[in-house]
Amino acid sequence: MVDADQTFVIVGGGLAGAKAAETLRTEGFTGRVILICDERDHPYERPPLSKGYLLGKAERDSVFVHEPAWYARHDIELHLGQTVDAIDRTAKTVRFGEDGTVVRYDKLLIATGAEPRRLDIPGTDLVGVHHLRRLAHAERLKGVLTSLGRDNGHLVIAGAGWIGLEIAAAARQYGAEVTVVHRGRTPLHSVLGPELGQLFAELHMEHGVRFHFGATLTEITGQDGMVLAARTDDGEEHPAHAVLAAIGAAPRVALAEAAGLELADRADGGGVRVDERLRTSDPDIYVAGDAASFPHALFDTRLRVEHWANALNGGPAAARSMLGREDAYDRVPYFFSDQYDLGMEYSGWAPPGSYDEVVIRGDAGKREFIAFWVREGRVLAGMNVNVWDVTDPIQGLIRSGVPVDTEALADPRVPLESLVA
């Protein structure tokens, strides 16, 4: 039984933290809820930053999880622009803000997310070097892409992951010239493998994006503090008026580490190690979102997931655990992307080396298909491209864990639902 006099503190004002606060109230918690956010903006969702908002198709206010008045109306004590600098597990307190405010907690949720990796090369101090994680970054980048498109400017992107490709698509739609430098041989290799990565390379090349594969940036050169070019380790030089670092993100674990909480191995993706209820090595502290490394029974491994759905579902799952629920967090990983006229959804987990084959259902040439990553007949992951309303049966196939007939799996005439055991 949760005492109404208890105090639950949430560190991190992203989607996971905001949804956790919402869930505490909808589940009937009447105690004190304190939400501490190191950004000055109210909690918001991050996908629009590289999609609709960046493209000018969505208004700024559309990114926020709740309207500003919602927090006071639900008695959520929201502290914006405040950084937590210490957790005292013995006293069960957190210290935050410039004045060193200390509050005691009964349960604590860490939802500090991840931070974009920086380029560690000469020239990153030049005006025109960017990364994307926060709303302010998207606002700045939106202006940059507008200017590049107007002046026929060049954008060099380091990295061909989801963020890099989405921004490449946005930049081309603004009219900017785009070169993507990527150390792999195909985009998205760590998620899709070479089979489907090539499809995204072809999509972007059709829209005028230039790729420089098998290389990394070694220097950004400039004049009078402005970017002029980007050099690679194979001696190439690309003209550039702006450079975007899209080389991945690292979980923000410094606060948890300083508090002595157990961390996950780098081989497992790093992050703070939690159990199936998102509880850390301290039974009164939980972690959700990008910073959490949790065991997933379905894939028999430990996962750290940096996508929107994990924050959307993980925050509420952690809140319910804080309230004493015993439910395991075992959502099938899910994410989506929109690039030009291609929309896709991906469910599951199938890194290169974990599957035997990729089964295609539909017409990959027309980019209207579903791809399945299969091991010994079992579906590990599925990606639907310009095919909609199939997420539930795809996730049903993944959850069933039983072998399927791959010929039937590839046949669009066979309903997916009929293959779910």
Per-residue b/e over 257-268, b at no fewer than 16 CB within 10 Å? eebebebbeeeb
| pTM (2 d.p.) | 0.95
Half-sphere exposure of residue 241: CA atoms within 13 angstroms, side-chain side: 16
pLDDT for res 2: 56
pLDDT for res 403: 94
**Among candidate residues 54, 16, 56, the one with its CA nearest the CA of residue 35:** 16
pLDDT single digits (tens) 195-240: 899 999 999 999 999 999 999 999 999 999 999 999 999 999 999 9
End-to-end CA distance of the chain: 38
Give how far the C-alpha of residue 321 lies from the chain's centroid of Cα atoms, to the nearest Å: 23
Q: How many Å apart are CA 65 and CA 78, to the nearest integer?
A: 13
């380029």: which residue's tokens?
119
pLDDT single digits (tens) 173-194: 999 999 999 999 999 998 998 8
**Among candidate residues 205, 67, 44, the one with its CA nearest the CA of residue 137:** 44
pLDDT single digits (tens) 26-36: 999 999 999 99
**Among candidate residues 267, 305, 268, 308, the one with its CA nearest the CA of residue 287:** 305
Pairing of β 249-251 and β 114-116: antiparallel
Bridge partners (DSSP) listed for residue 316: none
CB 66 within 8 A of CB 40: no
Q: What are phi and psi of 200, to 5 degrees?
A: -75, -30
Average pLDDT estimate for 337-352: 96
Q: How many Å apart are CA 197 and CA 160, to the nearest integer?
A: 10
In this prediction, residue 1 has a pLDDT band, given cuts at 50, 70 and 90, of very low
pLDDT for res 163: 96
Cα Rg of the chain (Å, integer):
22
Average pLDDT estimate for 363-375: 96
Mean pLDDT rounded to a whole number for the chain: 96
pLDDT single digits (tens) 103-149: 999 999 999 999 999 999 999 999 999 999 999 999 999 999 999 99
Q: What are the CA-CA distances from residue 55 to residues 198, 203, 232, 279, 372 (Å)?
A: 25, 18, 29, 38, 30
